């Protein structure tokens, strides 16, 4: 019996659903290549990698324990995106990571630097990492005035370049008095929450 148009359409819908399930696109999270046990992750950014806590309590150190891979702390306190872009290639050459977690831009906003330039620098950082065949996760930082929400250009870059994005955790941590060491930095509890959120995102992307 020849298939009807209705049955054919149903099979097409089923096939598309299966494809979405297999790729994880049903959750709207871009995929990353699986991380081998010996492969390196670089946490690239500014002081939000761990200022306000001990080295063992920093988010890269906690993330390393959570995911069972080496996580390199490549944060420079006070750094702006222009400086981060300038040192990026040397960090990649030194550590040869499989994945980089980019969390940068807060100092640009604190210094009231041009938002378009900050966005352009962040986009350049992400595209340079991608050009080296390295996976990227972008972590958004809240606007410092009242910490009422993450700056919108982070999500815009993530959507434009098709990369996984965590845009809520730092804003949420910095809105909780008991999770901050000072007005702009988390404490040990806050960094643990950040590490847990990033680990959960990595699982959704297929990296773990």
Q: Which two tokens stand for residue 183?
A: 């007005």
- Asked if 51 contacts 115 with a C-beta cutoff of 8 angstroms, the reply is no
pLDDT at 34: 97
pLDDT at 3: 45
Q: 38-205 sits in which CATH class?
A: alpha beta
CA distance 197 to 103: 13
* Whole-number Cα distances in Å, 43 to 48, 66, 177: 10, 14, 25
Residue 134: name the closest of 86, 92, 73 by CA: 92
CA distance 27 to 90: 35
What does pTM read for this prediction?
0.85
H/E stretch holding 43 reads strand 40-45
Q: Which two tokens stand for residue 169?
A: 């955790």
pLDDT at 49: 87
Cα 57–chain centre separation: 19
**Mind listing the pLDDT tens digit of every residue in the chain (208 residues)?**
444 444 444 443 334 333 333 333 445 899 999 999 999 999 999 999 889 999 999 999 999 999 999 999 999 999 999 999 999 999 999 999 999 999 999 999 999 999 999 999 999 999 999 999 999 999 999 987 755 689 999 999 999 999 999 999 999 999 999 999 998 899 999 999 999 999 999 999 999 9
Handedness of CA 160, 201, 91, 52 (dihedral sign): positive
pLDDT at 148: 66
* Whole-number Cα distances in Å, 126 to 28, 60, 70, 188, 191: 19, 19, 21, 28, 23
């Amino acid at each position: 019996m020849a298939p009807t148009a209705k049955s054919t359409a149903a099979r097409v819908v089923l096939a598309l659903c299966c494809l979405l399930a297999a790729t994880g696109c049903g959750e709207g999270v871009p995929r990353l290549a699986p991380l081998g046990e010996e492969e390196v992750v670089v946490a690239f950014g500014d002081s939000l990698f761990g200022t306000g806590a001990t080295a063992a309590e920093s988010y890269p150190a906690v993330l390393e324990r959570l995911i069972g891979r080496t996580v390199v702390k490549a944060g420079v306190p006070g750094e702006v995106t222009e400086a981060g872009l300038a040192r990026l290639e040397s960090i990649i050459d030194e550590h040869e990571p499989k994945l980089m977690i980019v969390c940068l831009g807060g100092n640009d906003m604190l210094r009231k630097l041009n938002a378009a330039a900050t966005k352009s620098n962040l986009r350049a950082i992400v595209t340079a990492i991608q050009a080296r065949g390295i996976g990227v996760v972008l972590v958004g930082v809240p606007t410092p005035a009242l910490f009422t929400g993450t700056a919108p250009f982070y999500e815009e870059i993530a959507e434009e370049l098709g990369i996984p994005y965590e845009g809520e955790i730092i804003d949420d941590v910095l809105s909780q008095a008991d999770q901050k060491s000072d007005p702009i930095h988390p404490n040990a509890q806050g960094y643990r929450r950040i590490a847990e959120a990033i680990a959960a995102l990595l699982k959704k992307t297929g990296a773990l």
